Structure 1
Amino acid sequence: MKKIKLVLNSVLILLSVVACNSENPNRIPSELINITATADSANQKQNQLPEITFTETQHDFGKIAEGIQATYNFKFSNTGKADLLIVGANASCGCTVPEYPKQIIKPGQDGYITVKYDSKGRPGIFEKTITVNCNTIPRETILTIRGEVEAQDKN
Structure 2
Amino acid sequence: MKTIFAFLCISLLGFSANAQEFKFEEEIINYGNIHKGANGERTFVFTNIGNQPLIITKVQSSCGCTIPKKPEQPILPGEKGEIKVSYDTKRTGGFSKSISIYSNAKNPRKVVKIKGFVTNGISLEKEKSLLSDS
Q: RMSD value over aligned CA atoms?
A: 2.1
Structure 1 gap ranges (5+): 1-38
Quickly say closer, same or farther: Cα 1:60–1:118, change in 2 above 3 A. same
Question: CA–CA distance in 1 between the matches of 2:53 and 2:16?
Answer: 15
Q: Does 2:128 correspond to 1:128?
A: no
Q: What is the identity, as a one-letter code, of the residue corresponding to 2:50?
A: G
Larger strand proportion, structure 1 or 2? 2
For the residue of structure 1 that corresponds to 2:100, the secondary structure is strand
For the residue of structure 2 that corresponds to 1:82, the secondary structure is coil
Alignment match of 1:70 (pick from 29, 34, 40): 40
Q: Does 2:20 correspond to 1:50?
A: yes
Alignment match of 2:106 (pick from 129, 137, 140): 137
Aligned residue in 1 for 2:88: 118
CA deviation after TM superposition for structure 1 residue 152, in Å: 4.6
Structure 2 gap ranges (5+): 1-9, 123-134
Q: Does 2:16 correspond to 1:40?
A: no
TM-score normalised by structure 1 residue count:
0.66
TM-score normalised by structure 2 residue count:
0.76
For the residue of structure 2 that corresponds to 1:44, the secondary structure is helix
Aligned residue in 2 for 1:151: 120
Give percent identity, aligned residues only: 34
Question: CA–CA distance in 1 between the matches of 2:39 and 2:58?
Answer: 22
CA deviation after TM superposition for structure 1 residue 71, in Å: 1.3
Q: Does 2:41 correspond to 1:98?
A: no
